[in-house]
Amino acid sequence: MSPGSDIEYHPVRADVGELIEMIEPDRLLVIGDGVPEAMTLAGSTRLLVSVESDLPTGTYVFRTGDTAYVMHVAEGAVPGAPASIAWSEPDHPLAQAFGWFSHWWARGSPVPLPRFALEDEIQLVPSGQEGRIRTRKFSVDGWFYGVRVGGKSQQVREQSLQVLVIDDDPHQWISREPATANRFAATLTRAKLSEQLTDTVFSFRASRTLFRPYQFRPVIRLLTTGQLRLLIADEVGLGKTIEAGLVWTEFDARSMANRVLVVCPSALVAKWRMEMQERFGFELVDLRSEQLGNLLEQVEEERLPTRLHAVCSLERLRTWDGLQRLAELQPHFDLVIVDEAHAFRNSETRSYALGSLLADWSDALVFLSATPLNLGNDDLFNLLQLLAPGDFSDRAQLEDLLRPNSVLNRVAASLLDSTVSNATRKEWLSEIGAMTFGPGVTARPEFSELQVLLDEVGLTPASVTEARSLIGHLHALSAVVTRTRKAEIQEQKAVRTVATIDVDWTPEEAAFYKGFEDWQVERAKNSGYPIGFVTQMPLRLASSCLPMARQRVMDGSGGVLMDDLDADDDTGPETPELDVPPSSLVDLARELGAVDTKFDAFLPRLRDVVEQGKRVLVFTFSRATLAYLQRRLGDEFRVAVLHGGVTGEDRQAVMQRFRAGDHDVVLASRVASEGLDFEFCSAIVNYDLPWNPMEVEQRIGRIDRFGQLEKRVMIYNFSMPGTIETDMVGRLMSRIGVFEDSIGELEPIIESNLTEIRKALDFTLSPEERRRETDRLLAVIEEQRQAVSEVENATAFLSSTDKTEIEGLEQDLLSSGRYVGQPELRLLIEDWSHVSPGSMYSDSANGSQFILRGTELMERHLRSVRGKGERSEAEIERLAQKLRDEQDIVLYLDQEAARISGGDLLAANHPLVRAALAVPGHTQARFASIRIGPSGRAARSFLVLLAVARWDGLRKSAELWTESVPLDGGEPVDGIGDALLAGLAESELSEGGRLDPDLDMDVFLSRVEAQMMDRQTREELRREAENEALFETRRISLKETHLRKVQRIEGTIDTLRSTGKSNMIRLQEAQLRNQDRLVRAKEAELEQKSTGSLSVEMLAVCVLETEV
Amino acid sequence: MTGSDESQMHEATLATERAVNELYLSQMAEAVRRQVKAAKEVPLPRNNQWTSPGSESKIPIRKIEVDPLIGRVALDVDDALLGSGFYIGSWHQEIGDTQVVSWAAPVATLFYLGRSSGDVLASEVEGRRTFVTETVQIVDFVDDLEETGTGSEDPFATPLTGPLDIPAAPAFVIPTPPSAGSPADPVGPVEVVEEPESPRVEVADESTEARPPCPDRFEVEDGLRAEKALLRVLDQPRTGKLSSVLATLQPDQYRLVTWPQGVPLIVQGSPGTGKTIVAVHRASYLVHPERDGGSVGPVAIVGPTERFVDHVSKAVRDLDVSSLGPEDPGGRIQIPQVLSVAGLLGRLAGVDTRAQLLVDDNEERIDTDWRLMRFATQAVGHLRAGGCWRHDFLVR
């Protein structure tokens, strides 16, 4: 069929769009429901729906001279073969079609051109909500548009839409009346929350956790690299769970964590659910087999809720029989967190297969693992392969990739070493160029910046810091792995000072202890019980508190009643039967009298400490000792007791009083103190020693933690030669260094040797045997410590020693305002409540709370958040009901208050904040006159321009930029924009003065705009260079991978050829061709990302008065 | 014909077939929609609710995908039921006067076996057209023509849906005077030579009592059909999973797939000759309601290991989707079940072996477990003794 025929028939209905695009007909007639999208290209269009058409479906084209008509039969008879004729063939059936066209055209109703195109940004009338057009369709009475508004699709008639007015000229803004400070602040807060800013930390102060800068390392890493995959490999005890929770909170505030799956060992499921609920307010559904079945069904039917928080045990998920089906359906999760991810380390296992599935299903993927990072085997490679599959293809390549790190580390380590010259350092750096992945490093702008720094003769403290930061950025794979070691965060901690209180027993005491010990040895032998934890208990009591042991003997029960022990000290299943103490021991007890040398030695030391104004935490394993000490100390000191029998509420009350300074001394057992923070307390006393080194660490950790204000914390131990505590336990612990230093990397070793340690602590041993046994244990531990430090080799490669990333994080965030503060959110909620008359809000007296009373309208707003899939029914129900019933909703504005009370912390991801954001509010207050600080004081005025800068290269980013110029003609000042943002976060913006009408604001604005453009140019150049280097690294990696694969296949072909298996060579050759095709496709894909651009969108302008 | 004429012809034919497929798909979609609507009125238990308590109760309907046409057969007669040709699809449908028959229907044998089919119309087959599809679109076709002796006329020349039939317009208008060119021949109705009607012989239902007669051991010289289409499919990158190959099912494979129910069969062949794919299609055939005699009820595919189960599950489900026709939506059709030997034995013994097998990553050893081997050998021996049939796949 020639394209220029007079009459053509095209049977395929779907082709109509293409035909119209090609022909651009003068008239288009549509028969039946189905006006094609391309109708805008036709001169005029008519539609005829209710007509009995017997014409074959398809598209008819008529041409005369320059005129062309198209008739599209969307509903009709069975289609035939394509045909084309000339007008000179009037007898051809197709010729009749034009008759029908003429006949129907007269009856068709005209189809007006649509006013809006697909992807147009529009505004709904009258609500003013903004949206985007996704579909459009003509029906008899007009155009209908499928519009996406606030994450929800709706069908809207044309009349209900209007063009979104684009108001992006700052010069226009300043010509208008300035907005109030609060409206201006609300505009900025909304912009902060709705733009995906990568330089603003939403999770800061947004959870019920204590602030620990290093725990933000993963969040910062994810934000700065723009990558969504991370291995958090912190040492045990640094709170990896909290770090994952912070990442989750960060993503949640960005609406990037609606569907979250946590996978962890089954033993940790309960802990995850509890921690996420208590600290972050995330309710996790436990996926047991029934729920998994439901999940599969939902995925199968494509109705998996968009908001979903679930946890599943690794063991269950791995063996679940629906996994295969789920794998085929490819469910999607915004965030997947895997705890103890080293379960995935072995690529042969089902666990690993699960790992790769999870990697496929998730946008963001976070692995937690404390396993030492070991380059010597496949474990680390396999883990990283799951996280960053594109970066390297085998172990050898991973090592290649990491090789430049060793040079960088050498340079970093030498920065403070004055014997190393900059010339030497530069020489070291030059080694990198020759490495496989060297060019990717040397091409980075940071590398040249580092070289420029090293061009100087020496290094200043500032340049050392800068060099460290540059090296940190140059580190390969630092984007994928964060590792914080305990040793690293030590510096910020208090110094531990250990004091030993020597107890010089009277002969009577020594004799009684010996008699008591002999009796226990005898009992243990007779009872047939193994020498173990339980049989040792009575003896532990004797060394803890001799008077209490004496009392037991006098009472005729020499053992320790289990009541004496605090609850869950891991007692064995059976208690040895109590028997009557021998009369000789009873005699010794009688002779002992009321003497207590240990207590007498303790009392003056305690007095001393309390007089210094310190609060003291005294630990003992035994409730009997607790009771004894309470009795003896109660008169002189303000004492409280915490043990397993104290209820949660009472515990809380004791804590509050102790914190407030109403107690001098708290006597505690382990059970009672777990999870409580005593950072206000700077001395602990080990009245007796636990026999597990980890427990000592736990005890000291109560006070030696973040928030400790004293530079030194005191640890008091007792020395009573002759007792097993002092001879073995104490000696062992001092030698390990438990008291002075946190256990850190020793922790896994001690955990694994715990059974042996316990077995070794045998009180029936002679003093000489005790010494030898202790030495043996120490040797074992030392040997394993060596092994660990060898295994740790990969750490140096993977994570730079750079701490600048998190050092001073809190201060930086506070002073630059790059976070979302509770006060500004309060303002946002207030702004929201204004739209609904009848709502009320009030602040609590101490400013730590904010009380909101809502309305039904606000309830509807909140429920619409669920419609967008941003929050689930369960998450909003409680709040929605309170809004409807006009009950008080208490929102905490203070992290600590929320943590202690467990109440709702007002944070960027709180449902009420999401609801407030969804309501059209003040987004257009683009200009204002603002003041920071008290009025009346001398201040300078600046014009501040705020903008969002977006980079769309390989590492995407979006930042809030500010530029300012002084309005008084004086010197420009740095940090004015930061001050504005800091004031915004803490809601400290007040109304500024009236603007000077004589000041030509346009001139100043042009100046500040020029500054902004300058910055854009500079920044764009820098990022282009960075992008090119990144691109280069990936390109090399791709090429290397390809080469290796080709080599492998060629090797196979050679083998086949030499063994005469020529029939299989063809298969291999096909693979080789396949490889070529694949690598070309990947290269093309990468090529597209080789360049990026930086766009700057103006956000707002203000005049800012502030003291400088 | 010149090459470009030929390619223009090809394009035109392709357009016609695409238009027919378009219509078939929309009719199928409409039929499925009606059925789903009917199924929705059946209340379902609420225990399908999951994490969002209180959310609207949606009736779980399996996601239904309609599959495109598979092929077309041209006949040298105008059969009373089938006309001068028919289409093959997943489900029966009528496109105007043209029939689409299911691949599982007895008459589909004409498509898969052509003249070697046992159907009464076998000798009337003039050509078979196999569609190459991407998702639901026909992107190409491959014709297998029979030697007809009646010249080289293309048996597919006329669209099955008939010549373009446009009713006379109420007003006949020609915008400009017809050009002076020679008028083309009017295209009259296509003359079809009426053959005496050959009544279709209904095959009696297989007796459930006596074992039905075994078909002769058949010749392997069936050769290849739709060779080009097959090569195209084979050229596509392997996904590592089996998938439906209805369009390119080869004659010998088709015979095995449609083997009489109740006649034991042993299929032997080297690795990669297509035994598994036959088994999968066989199972789907047996549960297809449009097969002669209807669905046989539950069918299980038993394989050596759990890995095998994973391997074939996708293909089973693919075919399962295609068997979710308008007649029976909502998944009420029996889906062939895939089991491992160990899983089957475990089930018989009432033990959940799968869970154990999965925990134990060494399930491969079951492959080589001598007891299972002996069990399988005995089963084969038992079947042989019972007069069962063997089919050997040759390495191709």
Mean pLDDT across A894-914: 83
The residue with tokens 């950025």 is A473
- Identify the closest residue of chain B to A319 by CA–CA distance: B358
pLDDT for the residue numbered B72? 92
Helix (H) or strand (E) run with residue A1019 in it? helix A1001-1058
SS3 B152: coil
Contact across the interface for A102 and B173, Cβ inside 8 Å: yes
Q: Do A305 and B55 touch (CB under 8 A)?
A: yes
Contact A99 B171 (CB under 8 A): yes
Which residue's entry shows tokens 């027993």? A505
What is the pLDDT averaged over residues A813-842? 83
Q: Tell me, what's the pLDDT at A151?
A: 65
pLDDT, position A488: 66
Candidate from B170, B176, B354 with C-beta closest to A103: B170
- Angle (CA) A355-A1080-A1086 rounded to 5° is 65
Residues of B numbered 245-304 whose beta carbons fall under 8 angstroms of chain A's beta carbons: which are they? none
β-bridge mates for residue A956, sequence order? none
**ipTM over 0.90 threshold:** no
The pLDDT assigned to A558 comes to 47
Q: Is A85 in Cβ contact with B164 (below 8 Å)?
A: no
Helices and strands of chain A, counted as H and E runs: 41, 33
Q: Report the distance separating Cα A656 and Cα A664, nearest Å.
A: 13
Using a CB-CB distance cutoff of 8 angstroms, which residues of chain B are in contact with residue A11?
15-16, 18-19
What is the model's pLDDT at position B198? 34
The confidence band for A375, taking pLDDT boundaries of 50, 70 and 90, is: low
Preceding peptide of A911 cis, ω within 30°: no
B164: nearest CA partner in chain A:
A80
- Using CA atoms, how far residue A620 sits from A411, A629, A638, A646, A698, in Å, is 49, 10, 18, 15, 13
Which of B98, B162, B168 has its CB closest to that of A96?
A: B168
How far does the CA of residue A971 sit from the closest CA of chain B (Å)? Answer: 60
For the stretch B269-317, pLDDT in tens is: 776 677 888 888 888 888 888 888 777 777 888 877 777 777 777 677 6
Any A CB within 8 A of B36 CB: no
Query: Percentage helix, strand, coil, to 5, in chain B?
Result: 35, 15, 50
User: In angstroms, rounded to a whole number, what is the distance separating the alpha carbons of residues A229 and A247?
Assistant: 11
The answer to whether the Cβ–Cβ distance between B53 and A873 falls below 8 Å is yes
CA distance A79 to A81: 7
Q: What DSSP assignment string belongs to A527-561?
A: H---SSHHHHHHHHHHHH-HHHHHHHHHHT--S--
pLDDT at B364 over 50: no
The whole-number average pLDDT for the span A743-772 is 72
Quote the CA–CA distance of A446 and A1025 in Å, as a whole number. Answer: 10
The alpha carbon dihedral of A172, A176, A181, A186 has a sign of negative
Average pLDDT, chain A: 82
With contact defined as beta carbons under 8 Å apart, do B222 and B109 qualify? no
**Which of B162, B169, B183 faces A99 most closely, judged by CB atoms?**
B169
DSSP-based three-state secondary structure for A183: helix
| Most B-contacting residue of A26, A100, A870, A871 (CB-CB within 10 A), to test interface | A100
Residue B372 confidence (pLDDT):
63
Predicted pLDDT of residue A208 = 84
Residue A346's SS3 state is coil
| DSSP designation for A502 | E
| Length of chain A in terms of residues written | 1108
Q: What is the average pLDDT across B88-102?
A: 87
Give the residue, A13 or B212, on which the prediction is more confident.
A13
In the three-class reduction of DSSP (H, G, I as helix; E, B as strand; rest coil), residue A932 is classed as strand
Reduce the DSSP state of residue A191 to 3 states and report it: helix
Q: Which of residues 203-242 of B touch A (CB under 8 A)?
A: 237
Q: Would the pLDDT of B179 be above 70?
A: no
- The pLDDT score that the predictor gives to residue B289 is 80
Q: How confident is the model at residue B209 (pLDDT cuts 50, 70, 90)?
A: very low
- Say whether residue B12 is in contact with chain A using an 8 A CB cutoff: yes
Contact A57 B19 (CB under 8 A): yes
Gap from A419 CA to chain B (nearest CA, Å): 56
Judged by CB atoms closer than 8 Å, whether chains meet at A86 and B50 is answered as: no
User: What's the confidence (pLDDT) of residue A489?
Assistant: 66
Task: State chain B's mean pLDDT as an integer.
Answer: 68
Size of chain B in residues: 396
pLDDT at A423 exceeding the cut of 50: yes
Q: How far off is chain B from A305, nearest CA to CA, in Å?
A: 8
Question: What is the share, in percent, of chain A residues with pLDDT greater than 90?
Answer: 19
Interatomic CA distance for residues A826 and A501, integer angstroms: 53
Q: How far is CA A990 from CA A191, A974, A1104, in A?
A: 19, 21, 10
User: In A335-394, which ranges are continuous DSSP H helix?
Assistant: 350-361, 378-387
Q: Alpha-carbon distance A402 to B270, whole Å? A: 46
**A170 token code pair:** 């700052």
B79 to chain A, closest Cα gap in Å: 20
The three-state secondary structure class of A682 is coil
- For residue A869, which residues of chain B lie inside 8 Å, CB to CB? none
Find the residue in A nearest to B316 (Cα).
Answer: A325
For residues B364 and B360, what is the distance between their CA atoms, to the nearest angstrom?
10
Query: What would the mean pLDDT of B150-160 be, rounded to a whole number?
Result: 70
Q: Which residues 335-374 of B are in CB contact (within 8 Å) with A?
A: 354-355, 358-359, 361
Of B50, B54, B309, the CB nearest to A295: B50
Determine the pLDDT at residue A1038: 79
Contacting residues of A for B58, CB less than 8 Å apart: 301, 303
- Contact list in B for residue A873 (CB cut-off 8 A) is 52-55
Q: Average pLDDT in the A452-458 region?
A: 86
Instruction: Count A/B contacts: CB-CB distance under 8 Å.
Output: 188
pLDDT tens for A520-574 read: 888 777 766 666 555 677 888 888 899 988 888 887 664 555 445 544 444 443 4
> Which amino acid type is present at position A625?
T
Min distance B309 CA to chain A CA atoms (Å): 10
Instruction: Identify the DSSP state of A565.
Output: B
Q: Shortest Cα distance from B379 to chain A (angstroms)?
A: 28
Give residue-wise pLDDT tens across range A608-630.
999 998 899 999 988 889 999 99
Per-residue confidence at A1078, pLDDT binned at 50, 70, 90? Answer: confident
Chain A residues touching B176 at Cβ < 8 A: 64-65, 87
Long-range contacts formed by A753-761: CB under 8 A, 24+ apart: A753/A777, A753/A780, A753/A781, A753/A784, A754/A692, A754/A694, A756/A780, A757/A691, A757/A692, A757/A693, A757/A732, A758/A532, A758/A533, A758/A691, A758/A692, A759/A532, A760/A728, A761/A536, A761/A691, A761/A724, A761/A728, A761/A729
Q: Model confidence at A1107, in pLDDT bands (50, 70, 90)?
A: confident
Q: What pLDDT was estimated at residue B160?
A: 74
Beta strands at A927-932 and A989-991: parallel, antiparallel or unpaired:
antiparallel
Cβ(A254)–Cβ(A222) under 8 Å?
A: no
B161 in contact with A, Cβ within 8 Å? yes
In tens, the pLDDT along A162-175 reads: 887 667 789 988 98
User: What is the residue whose two structure tokens read 């309907």?
Assistant: B61
Q: What is the 3-state secondary structure (H, E, C) of B200-241?
A: CCCCCCCCCCCCCCCCCCCCCCCCCCCHHHHHHHHHCCCCCC
Is the Cβ–Cβ distance between B211 and B263 less than 8 Å?
yes
Give tens-digit pLDDT for A261-315.
Answer: 999 988 778 878 888 988 898 999 999 988 998 898 888 877 788 889 999 999 8
pLDDT in tens, A987-1046: 889 998 888 888 889 999 999 999 999 999 999 998 888 888 888 877 887 787 788 778
| Mean pLDDT value of segment A509-527 | 84
Closest to A324 (Cβ–Cβ): which among B18, B178, B313?
B313
pTM of the model: 0.57
How confident is the model over B328-332, as a mean pLDDT?
45
**pLDDT of res. B62:** 47
C-alpha A524/C-alpha A528 separation (Å) is 6
B46 token code pair? 């609420």
**Using one digit for the tens of pLDDT, what is the confidence trace for B109-146?**
999 888 888 888 888 888 899 998 887 888 888 888 88
Position A262 scores a pLDDT of: 96
Return residues 311-340 of B near A (CB < 8 Å): 313-314, 317
Q: Could you tell me if A1069 and A142 are in contact, meaning their C-beta atoms sit under 8 angstroms apart?
A: no
**How sure is the predictor about B223, in pLDDT bands with cuts at 50, 70 and 90?**
low
pLDDT at A477 over 80: no
Note whether A620 and A626 are within 8 A (CB).
yes
The residue type found at A477 is: L
Whether A594 shows a pLDDT value over 60: the answer reads: yes
CA dihedral sign, ordered B280, B283, B287, B293: positive
User: DSSP labels for A754-820?
Assistant: HHHHHHH--TTS-HHHHHHHHHHHHHHHHHHHHHHHHHTHHHHHHS-S--TTTTTHHHHHHHHT-B-
Cβ-Cβ contacts under 8 Å, B187 against chain A: 92-93
Based on its alpha-carbon atoms, the radius of gyration of chain B, rounded to whole angstroms, reads: 25
Q: Pick the closest to residue A589 from A523, A518, A512, A507 (CA basis).
A: A512
Query: Which amino acid is it at A506?
Result: T
Q: What is the pLDDT of residues A709-724, one digit of tens each?
A: 788 889 999 998 888 8
Least Cα separation, residue A2 to chain B (angstroms): 9
Whether A1102 and A965 have beta carbons less than 8 Å apart is answered as no
Q: How many Cα atoms sit within 13 Å of A769 on the Cβ side?
A: 8
Structure tokens at B25: 């798909």
pLDDT digits (tens, 9 = 90+) for A68-80: 999 999 888 888 8
Task: Please name the residues in contact with A246: beta carbons below 8 A apart, sequence gap of 6 or more.
Answer: A203, A207, A209, A215, A216, A218, A219
pLDDT for the residue numbered A687: 93
Per the CB < 8 Å rule, is B52 touching A11?
Answer: no
Q: pLDDT tens across B31-53, in order?
A: 877 766 666 554 433 333 332 33
